Chains A and B, each alone.
Chain A
């Protein structure tokens, strides 16, 4: 009887602290948005530009969240999945190869998006089969290497545009914009294609978030969390941990491929230099900020990450007057680093993560 009361209190306390945590996280996200509006002088073109990037990385971070946050798989080659997705899309829809200017591609947008996701699935499968049986660190090493191999390979093939990349592939997507986008864009004083991409990107975020919620809050998701905790226990209970991990890499790959499509549409021209390992670590930062193992965490984390990264230049200019533009640009990363360090010290589970379930062990 007393046992009952004690645990009831324990889980109630957990719920209370969790809702406080969520309130704080939501508040910080709202503050970040406010800061974005204020520091941009309420210019929609800047706000929408930053929020498109936030959406691209939110999708990418959600894919990492499925792999790491819920299953414990370390993927440090996320940019490789985004490259495969982005290049597959850009090469299938009407496009031109950089410098050579040769045109090609005739697939409709929807088919190319699907193909980009399938490409992500295949990469996950190819990566997963040899590595998923091994300890987590091996997957991390292999993924980081594969991403670099892909980038350097793309750079050497003329059919893939070499270092000049691919251009002129966004038109078929831009043309899909319904009529109301033009009038809205005019009233907000932004290019219609920006507003259209903004709308589509955030719809994708919501759809992926919805799908993730259904998958994670199910017996399937429960098996993933169990694998994250202790794989042998899962095997001892008759669940094929290897197959689950492979599924996660494939589904994560599909989502990352999708984020690669959005990434390519946002850049409007892609070349290997856009797919440096830095992209992977931006996505990881967004995930860790928001809280790995929380469904909304990566979305909020990505918003805060991009607001801080893009809006701290004015702060840096104020703090250190007369500094060169290069130095200002570098200062943004220093500030971001300081933010992450503070977070790791005071809230290692991120804004929305559950400390009991997952925190990066820093002690």
Chain B
């Protein structure tokens, strides 16, 4: 593996809360244009790890490189601006803004985001808004949300909010997206289309790192699976490697895991 293929690299990243070591990741590298799943039992530190990578939490120590640039102590907005965008486990939709406004907000580098320009560059702003509106509508259509574009965010169902959050993240034109349980609460038929879309975006060059509990999905779409438990990475490999790794089965998946994973395997073979 050439180092230029690595888009995100985390070394010796540690974070503790009081006496609890929440994250203790020695080495994690994510390859460009791949889909990596991060799995692990509840409390394994997956979301905390996401928070650290995206600048919402500062690590106690360690180094995080994104596209070769040190982002360890950058603020969250700067990291997102660099193209590393996340979604949240508990969705953060702007409830008091419409679905379309949620989307338009995410467009990067808008001329009209500078207050002086709101007086003197109105025609440029209007033209940009038109372009962004078209982009937003195309994305909303893809996520079956177009009919809700004038609805307030707060009126959406849990699953719709998940979809909107992903659509909104894509609107910001990222190179890498961190998804925290993107499928939770999304109906299976729509979820399936979402997965297809994620695969398409990967083929177009986007990189995904996602936390998910649905083993079927994890095994099916991931190029690679990373397993965390009590803050550490205990396994890392292709879905089939991880599936047959006894340490994973013991530490993470528990007694019934065998059934679950066997089931997923059958499902993917059909």
Residues of B within 8 A of A3 (CB): 147-148
Q: Is the CB of A241 within 8 A of B77?
A: yes
Is A99 in contact with chain B by the CB < 8 A criterion?
Answer: no
Residues of B within 8 A of A251 (CB): 115
A356 to B151, CA, bound (A): 11
Q: Is the CB of A215 within 8 A of B92?
A: no
Is B112 in contact with chain A by the CB < 8 A criterion?
Answer: yes
Q: How far is the CB of B212 from chain A (nearest CB, A)?
A: 19
Residue of B at shortest CB range from A356? B152
Is B129 in contact with chain A by the CB < 8 A criterion?
Answer: yes
Contact of A237 among B75, B78, B168 (CB under 8 A): B168
A251 to B116, CA, bound (A): 11
Residues of A within 8 A of B230 (CB): none
Q: Is the CB of B106 within 8 A of A220?
A: no
- With contacts A233-B94, A236-B54, A238-B80 taken as known, whether A214 is within 8 angstroms of B104 at the C-beta atoms is no
User: Which of B18-26, B95-103, B185-193, B239-247 is found at the contact surface with chain A?
Assistant: B95-103
A240 to B119, CA, bound (A): 21
Q: How far is the CB of B48 from chain A (nearest CB, A)?
A: 15
A304 to B80, CA, bound (A): 45
Q: Is the CB of B151 within 8 A of A10?
A: yes
A142 to B150, CA, bound (A): 38
Residues of B within 8 A of A241 (CB): 77
Contact of B104 among A211, A222, A247 (CB under 8 A): A222
Is A219 in contact with chain B by the CB < 8 A criterion?
Answer: yes
Is B108 in contact with chain A by the CB < 8 A criterion?
Answer: yes
Q: Is the CB of B76 within 8 A of A228?
A: no
Q: How far is the CB of B71 from chain A (nearest CB, A)?
A: 13
Q: Is the CB of B119 within 8 A of A236?
A: no
Is B10 in contact with chain A by the CB < 8 A criterion?
Answer: no
Q: How far is the CB of B55 from chain A (nearest CB, A)?
A: 8
Is B105 in contact with chain A by the CB < 8 A criterion?
Answer: yes
Q: Is the CB of A237 within 8 A of B172?
A: yes
Interface string of A1-29 (1 = CB under 8 A from B): 00110111011000000000000000000
Residue of A at shortest CB range from B55? A235
Is B88 in contact with chain A by the CB < 8 A criterion?
Answer: yes
Q: Is the CB of A225 within 8 A of B96?
A: yes
Interface string of B163-175 (1 = CB under 8 A from A): 0000011001000
Q: Is the CB of A238 within 8 A of B96?
A: no
Looking at chain A's contact residues, the main secondary structure is helix
Is B118 in contact with chain A by the CB < 8 A criterion?
Answer: yes
Residue of B at shortest CB range from A223? B113
A358 to B95, CA, bound (A): 11
Contact of B112 among A218, A236, A356 (CB under 8 A): A218
A7 to B88, CA, bound (A): 27
Is A229 in contact with chain B by the CB < 8 A criterion?
Answer: yes
Residues of B within 8 A of A236 (CB): 54, 56, 76, 80, 85-88, 92
Residue of A at shortest CB range from B116? A220
Residue of B at shortest CB range from A224? B115
Is A174 in contact with chain B by the CB < 8 A criterion?
Answer: no
Is B125 in contact with chain A by the CB < 8 A criterion?
Answer: yes
- With contacts A226-B97, A241-B77 taken as known, whether A7 is within 8 angstroms of B150 at the C-beta atoms is yes
Is A177 in contact with chain B by the CB < 8 A criterion?
Answer: no
A310 to B110, CA, bound (A): 47
Residues of A within 8 A of B92 (CB): 230, 232-233, 236
Residues of B within 8 A of A238 (CB): 77-78, 80-81, 85, 108, 172
Is B93 in contact with chain A by the CB < 8 A criterion?
Answer: yes
- With contacts A230-B94, A232-B92, A239-B113 taken as known, whether A7 is within 8 angstroms of B105 at the C-beta atoms is no
Q: How far is the CB of B114 from chain A (nearest CB, A)?
A: 7
Q: List 24 A-B contacts (CB under 8 A).
A: A6-B147, A7-B148, A7-B151, A10-B151, A214-B118, A214-B122, A218-B125, A220-B112, A222-B104, A223-B113, A225-B96, A230-B94, A230-B95, A233-B88, A233-B94, A236-B76, A236-B88, A237-B80, A237-B105, A237-B172, A238-B85, A239-B105, A247-B115, A356-B96
Further 11 A-B residue pairs, CB within 8 A, beyond A219-B111, A226-B94, A247-B115: A215-B118, A218-B118, A219-B128, A222-B105, A223-B113, A235-B76, A235-B77, A237-B80, A240-B78, A357-B96, A358-B96
A-B pairs with lowest CB-CB distance, top 10: A3-B147, A219-B112, A238-B80, A238-B81, A233-B92, A218-B118, A229-B94, A235-B76, A11-B150, A219-B110
Q: Measuring CB to CB, which residues of chain A are less than 8 angstroms from any residue of chain B?
A: 3-4, 6-8, 10-11, 211, 214-215, 218-223, 225-226, 228-230, 232-241, 247, 251, 356-358
